[in-house]
Chains A and B, each alone.
Chain A
Amino acid sequence: MKRRPAAELKQELQDAGAAPKDAAKLSQFASGLSRLQAGSPKLVGSAQWRPRRRATWPLVPTVALAGVGGLFAGLILVALAQTSFPGSLLYPLKRTSEAVALQAQPDFRGVLMMRRAQEVRELVGHNGSPDLVASTLHDYASDAVAYKAQTTQNYAAFRYCQANLQQAESQASGQERQQIASTLADIPVDTN
């Protein structure tokens, strides 16, 4: 910053309407003002300011933590759902997780078949709704037929299902009993 000559300032002041004598006095007065610059306090830490970037990095662990937390909560729910029963709140989650597992491992069909047979027995034993018994029995039949097409070697699995359904049949009555008997007859345990 250059210090402007008093003559230059005097001319500026005259251009703005000051009389020459007034302009001379004012320019002399103004020249003293520049000493206030040296009289100003100094900025402390003038070399230390750094722009603060918007803190994007803390978002990464936050999102990761939320993701891990969500995943953890999801896994807990899925684990809890595995013990759920037809008609319960978590049962659809159980069926969804089963469908995913089946896609990954086709042999999982045998486990599904056994689970449905067990659910039929428990539903009947706990006086579950006839609609739930019928739909679970239907799901069992679908799984059993599909699994039978995959393998006839797993005698133990079929035998387990047969035992569960026979127990359910002995506890059931009326149309429900007929449905179970019919399913047992349609899908006999293959001993070959």
Chain B
Amino acid sequence: MTLDSPEDFERLYARYGQPIYRFLYWQTRDPQLAQDLTSTVFERSWRARRSFGGGSAQAWLYRIARNALVDHWRKKKELYLEDMPAVTATLEAQADGYDFDKEQELGEMAQALHQLPDHLKTVVVLRFIEELPAAAVADILQTTAGNVRIMQLRALRKMRQWIEEQRDQR
């Protein structure tokens, strides 16, 4: 895939804009911030297009997205752990018929996700929300697929444990 012209980047955005936005949204829980960061990612990738040495454009974009997130967190030093009105509103809007249990379950998952450390959260978003193969996630995180599998096991255990603790407290 070549990334030389504006048209190449328009195609890139059409293909990866939404996944990158989702990735950023689940990392920040702020739709507007995720939107701004998505623009930042594509602006940065456009400026850095000469550094794209072929290979996976997807992995390259996700790496830029992670760097944009790190930069943002460095500036803000805040996490978005509070309420989740945006998720709930979206789920309500998209649900085929209102399903309280389904919404509650998804809400729990979303909250559990946000209890994770950033590196595990990234693995869960890429592996189970974006449904990327372990090898692709390894490419993005610049680690091994085996390491990704270990991290996903830790993340899933932590999430399930957190949900069970929350249910026990109710």
How many chain B residues sit at the interface, stated as a range, is 35 or more
The docked-state distance in angstroms from the alpha carbon of A57 to that of B22 is 35
Main SS at interface, chain A: loop
Main SS at interface, chain B: helix
B91 contacts A29, C-beta separation under 8 Å:
no
A41 contacts B91, C-beta separation under 8 Å:
no
B13 contacts A16, C-beta separation under 8 Å:
no
Please pick, from A13, A41, A42, A44, the residue contacting B156 in the complex, using a CB distance under 8 A. A13
B46 contacts A38, C-beta separation under 8 Å:
no
Q: Using Cβ atoms and an 8 Å threshold, which residues of chain B touch A34?
A: 128-129, 131
Q: Please give the number of chain A residues whose Cβ is less than 8 angstroms from any Cβ of chain B in the complex.
A: 35
Please pick, from A1, A15, A26, A35, the residue contacting B130 in the complex, using a CB distance under 8 A. A1
Return the CB mask of B127-153 against A: 1 if under 8 Å, else 0. 111111110000000000010011011
Q: Using Cβ atoms and an 8 Å threshold, which residues of chain B touch A7?
A: none
B129 contacts A43, C-beta separation under 8 Å:
no
Q: Using Cβ atoms and an 8 Å threshold, which residues of chain B touch A46?
A: 13-14, 17-18, 21
The docked-state distance in angstroms from the alpha carbon of A32 to that of B101 is 13
Measuring CB to CB, which residues of chain A are less than 8 angstroms from any residue of chain B?
1-4, 12-13, 15-18, 22, 25-26, 29-30, 32-44, 46-47, 49-53
Measuring CB to CB, which residues of chain B are less than 8 angstroms from any residue of chain A?
6, 9-10, 13-14, 17-18, 21-22, 25-26, 31, 34-35, 38-39, 42-43, 46, 86-87, 90-91, 94, 102, 105-106, 109-110, 113, 124, 127-134, 146, 149-150, 152-153, 156-157, 159-160
